[in-house]
Copies of this chain bind each other. A is one copy, B any other.
């Protein structure tokens, strides 16, 4: 079995080999820029590994691997416009390097291209593959809308938060696993279980992101620590702390600015124990994720691979 790094380098090579029309100027350049920006290639890795676990050749799922990475990068591109973000993977975002119209239009193009890649498979399973993909896309838009609504909502609960990240982040990991399993010839029980493996892992993955943004190390995490606190972002830590000590959280986030705010709020989180609680919850989702693997027919070496993948994604420092 190949390891995760192998899939990522294969996928990067596929991305490098993609060909685009030269014209019109300004439409395809941002797409190349976006796709070459790096990232873990986690979604196509899950898709490839899921297909290989069912006995498929990795070359067979190249279009769908590219399609899911293209789709993921489309969501990042449009999210960056919506969130007014300046930097992505250490480089200027597309709407900063070019402009907002270019970012919108290149993103639209990526969404249509992603769909073309996804449906480039055996007609006997194409309907199921495309259904899964489209349903997931709609869920992701809903998740992004909930995330934006949370900005002006003061009574976000942990349940609401988990529902939001399930839609915005986790379902795409589930979708990648399910599509890979379908393409590899897995039955519907295998697909369901692999979907839930990816979904639960996705929840843990996003919670780890929340954790690292406050308690990570900027050298390994690759971006400044404390951005979520500065922006009053409704992360798991913030929502949990808000449930435990609403007045203190409100007071603390209003009292300080800049570095002092990051220090004061993260100290409060530690006092309340939400840092440890977050690690516990991540562990729970990871454990649940791994349990689903037991119900999937695949070689033990594949099962171990997915287990390692979940553990690596969850223990990551970056």
Cα A127 to Cα B149 in complex, Å, equals 38
Q: A127 to chain B: which residues have CB within 8 Å?
A: 123
| CB pair B149 A108 closer than 8 Å | no
Total chain A interface residues with beta-carbon distance under 8 A? 37
Once the chains are docked, how many angstroms separate the CA of A115 from the CA of B119? 12
- 26 pairs of residues in contact across A and B, judged by CB atoms under 8 Å: A21-B142, A24-B145, A24-B146, A26-B145, A26-B149, A27-B141, A27-B145, A81-B100, A81-B101, A82-B101, A82-B104, A83-B101, A100-B100, A101-B148, A105-B141, A105-B144, A105-B148, A109-B138, A109-B141, A111-B111, A112-B137, A112-B141, A115-B115, A115-B134, A123-B123, A123-B127
Instruction: Report if A57 contacts B (CB, 8 A).
Output: no
CA distance A101 to B146 in the complex (A): 12
Indicate if the CB atoms of B104 and A142 lie closer than 8 Å. Answer: no
- Tally of this chain's copies: 2
The interface residues of chain A, by DSSP majority, are classed as helix
A24, B123: Cβ atoms closer than 8 Å: no
Q: How would residues 19 to 45 of chain A score, 1 for a CB under 8 Å from any chain B CB and 0 otherwise?
A: 001011111000000000000000000
Contact partner of A108 among B25, B27, B100, B141, CB < 8 A? Answer: B141
- Contact call A134/B111, Cβ cutoff below 8 A: no
Q: List B contacts of A116 (CB < 8 A).
A: 134
Inter-subunit contact A82/B100 (CB<8 Å):
yes
Q: Interface of A with B (CB < 8 Å)? A: 21, 23-27, 78, 81-83, 100-102, 104-105, 107-109, 111-113, 115-116, 119, 123, 127, 130, 134, 137-138, 141-142, 144-146, 148-149
Q: Report whether A104 and B104 are in contact in the complex, using a CB–CB cutoff of 8 Å.
A: yes
| Contact call A26/B141, Cβ cutoff below 8 A | no
In the bound assembly, the distance between CA atoms of A112 and B148 in angstroms comes to: 20
Asked if A148 and B108 make an inter-chain contact with CB atoms under 8 angstroms apart, the answer reads no
Return chain B residues, CB-CB under 8 Å to A23: 142
Shortest distance from the beta carbon of A297 to any chain B beta carbon, whole Å: 28
Most chain B CB atoms below 10 A, which of A78, A141, A148: A141
Assess the B78–A142 pair: CB atoms within 8 A: no
- Which residues of B are found within 8 Å of A24, using beta-carbon distances? 142, 145-146, 149
Residue pair B142, A27 in contact (C-beta under 8 Å): yes
Complex Cα distance, B40 from A225, in Å, reads 53
Distance A82 CA – B100 CA, assembled complex (angstroms):
7
A112: chain B residues within 8 A (beta carbon): 111, 134, 137-138, 141
* B residues less than 8 Å from A81 (CB atoms): 100-101, 104
